[in-house]
Amino acid sequence: MFSSLQAQPADPILGLTVQFKADSNPHKLNLGPGIYQDEAGLTPVLGCVKAAEQHRVDSETTKAYINSAGSALFNKKITALNFGDHRVIHENRVRTVSTPGGTGALRIAGELIRTCRAGAAIWVSNPTWANHAGVFSAAGLQVRSYPYYDHDNKCLDFDNMMAALQQVPADDAVLLHASCHNPSGMDLSPAQWRQVAELAAKAGFLVVIDMAYQGFGAGLEEDAYGPRLVADTVDEMILCSSCSKNFGLYRERIGACSVIGSSAAAADIINSVLLPIVRVNYSMPPAHGAAIVETILDSAELTAQWHAELAQMRQRIGAMRQLLVQRLLAHGVTRDFSFITAQNGMFSFLGIDSEQVQRLQDEFSVYLVGSSRISIAAIAPDNVDYLAQSIASVL
Ligand code: LMR
């Protein structure tokens, strides 16, 4: 059976951590995966999460199965977090299932689209998260791309993006990032969201939004602007969200897939198709992460604590964007890196070539994805000078 298998390269993001762990340089720095780290380089368990877990340990009475949709309370709370007090909720047009992480939500979304339209394509931004193409093609979709980031000018390539989206057939889907675009850090402005939403309504393609970083850009409400606007403008859409980053629940694998139908009755039919898709994939989602999130969101006190802890993570990343640009200048770098402070969330491209990326790794034990994407969330005051010096050396 297995003799015909060909060895595959390591995952471009996850493979870096394996190399990083094996590196004995005491100054080593892993700017690869999008994982929040505090100033001490730790990815802490949030205080609100610890409190919610304690509460669950004390109050949980059974580990019996829930069902394919997952916890109803989590689904309700996460839908409200994502959409706010939106009319699609009042109109009973949203159906949400808990999923194993945001990746699970994307896979379920992909399979739902394939079930509706065999042969459909999903259009993803160029560039996009390295795993998007794999997830959607594994779900049976064709994957196409539209221009998004202008590497030369370090900004959105919006005119070309719109020109490409105008060609997307009504039966296809278009993936957008809600905020904190991974990997570029460049987000659509409110006016640009409006143009994209209006085009979707006119052209008829399905908008699928990946919201993996709600709260890491400008704030919980601000980062949900795009999805809420699209939900206001079109009849149907899909929102895939993740609690990995904003609740720091990476390994618990908890996210959600919310599908909006054109009416409550249409949403019920969608739900009846969604549940068997879950059933044949993993039967039911894991419950622990959902239990933590629903406990936090169901308590005013824990929600306030979470907001404060999330704001701290967001502000630290923003401060590190500023500090990196300052320290690059201080180390004599004349190239303009100020674009880093105009971008959002965990990531930016340094904009160096693959040879320079490799030199950073080989000579300085600074690990980043080959595209030159860096995770700002791994930068801290006591490693920023080493990083700035290393970048200065390879430029
Ligand atoms: C990333 O882009 O680094 C994160 O989303 C982690 C991952 O799974 O790739």
Q: What's the whole-number mean pLDDT along residues 365-389?
A: 97
Same domain flag for 167 and 126: yes
Residue 55 located in a structural domain: no
The per-residue pLDDT for 195 is 98
Same domain flag for 33 and 97: no
Give me the phi and psi of 99, to 5 degrees please: -135, 160
Same domain flag for 328 and 209: no
Active site residue 202: no
Residue 3 located in a structural domain: no
The per-residue pLDDT for 80 is 98
pLDDT band per the 50, 70, 90 thresholds, residue 104: very high
pLDDT digits (tens, 9 = 90+) for 177-207: 999 999 999 999 999 999 999 999 999 999 9
pLDDT band per the 50, 70, 90 thresholds, residue 152: very high
Residue 25 located in a structural domain: yes
Distance 369 CA to ligand 1 centre (A): 11
pLDDT digits (tens, 9 = 90+) for 244-298: 999 999 999 999 999 999 999 999 999 999 999 999 999 999 999 999 999 999 9
Same domain flag for 286 and 214: yes
* Atom of ligand 1 at shortest range from CA of 183: 2
Last residue of a domain, one of 272, 298, 324: 298
Nearest residue (CA) to ligand 1, atom 2? 34
Last residue of a domain, one of 269, 298, 327: 298
The per-residue pLDDT for 324 is 98
Residue 304 located in a structural domain: no
* Atom of ligand 1 at shortest range from CA of 102: 5
Q: What's the whole-number mean pLDDT along residues 226-239?
A: 98
Q: Tell whether ligand 1 has an atom less than 6 A from the beta carbon of residue 217.
A: no
Residue 49 located in a structural domain: no
Determine the 3-state secondary structure of 155 from DSSP.
strand
CATH code, domain with 103: 3.40.640.10
Written as six digits, the tokens of 117 are 């339209």
Same domain flag for 171 and 284: yes
Helix intervals (H) in the chain? 14-22, 47-59, 72-83, 87-90, 101-116, 132-138, 158-165, 190-203, 225-233, 264-281, 288-297, 300-330, 339-342, 354-364, 384-394
Same domain flag for 270 and 376: no
CA–CA dist 95, 335 (Å, integer): 48
Determine the 3-state secondary structure of 236 from DSSP.
coil
Active-site residue identified among 28, 77, 154, 245: 245
Residue 60 located in a structural domain: no
pLDDT digits (tens, 9 = 90+) for 116-133: 999 999 999 999 999 999
> Are residues 327 and 333 in contact, defined by beta-carbon separation less than 8 angstroms?
no
Active site residue 193: no
Same domain flag for 32 and 89: no
The per-residue pLDDT for 37 is 96
Best residue for ligand 1 mutational test, from 131, 132, 214, 216 (most atoms within 8 Å of Cβ) = 131
Active site residue 306: no
> Are residues 96 and 79 in contact, defined by beta-carbon separation less than 8 angstroms?
yes
Could you tell me what percent of the chain has a pLDDT over 90? 99
pLDDT band per the 50, 70, 90 thresholds, residue 166: very high
The per-residue pLDDT for 70 is 98
CA–CA dist 351, 368 (Å, integer): 12
The per-residue pLDDT for 190 is 98
pLDDT digits (tens, 9 = 90+) for 296-327: 999 999 999 999 999 999 999 999 999 999 99
pLDDT digits (tens, 9 = 90+) for 135-144: 999 999 999 9
Q: Which of 12-21, 61-70, 115-124, 236-245 has the lowest mean pLDDT?
A: 12-21
* Atom of ligand 1 at shortest range from CA of 13: 9
The per-residue pLDDT for 27 is 96
Last residue of a domain, one of 266, 298, 330: 298
Same domain flag for 92 and 210: yes
Give the CA radius of gyration of the chain.
21
Residue 204 located in a structural domain: yes
Task: Evaluate the CA torsion angle 51, 56, 307, 346 in order and state its sign.
Answer: positive
> Are residues 113 and 206 in contact, defined by beta-carbon separation less than 8 angstroms?
yes
pLDDT band per the 50, 70, 90 thresholds, residue 101: very high
Mean pLDDT (the chain, rounded): 97
Residue 131 located in a structural domain: yes
Q: What's the whole-number mean pLDDT along residues 221-240?
A: 98
CB atoms within 10 A of CB 63: 8
CATH code, domain with 34: 3.90.1150.10
Amino acid at the residue 298: D
The parent domain of residue 95 ranges over 65-298
* Atom of ligand 1 at shortest range from CA of 34: 3
Domain tally for the chain?
A: 2
Same domain flag for 29 and 162: no
Nearest residue (CA) to ligand 1, atom 1? 34
Same domain flag for 189 and 159: yes
* The model's pTM: 0.97
Same domain flag for 118 and 183: yes
Written as six digits, the tokens of 296 are 């936090």
pLDDT band per the 50, 70, 90 thresholds, residue 113: very high
Same domain flag for 95 and 181: yes
The per-residue pLDDT for 347 is 97
pLDDT digits (tens, 9 = 90+) for 358-374: 999 999 999 999 999 99
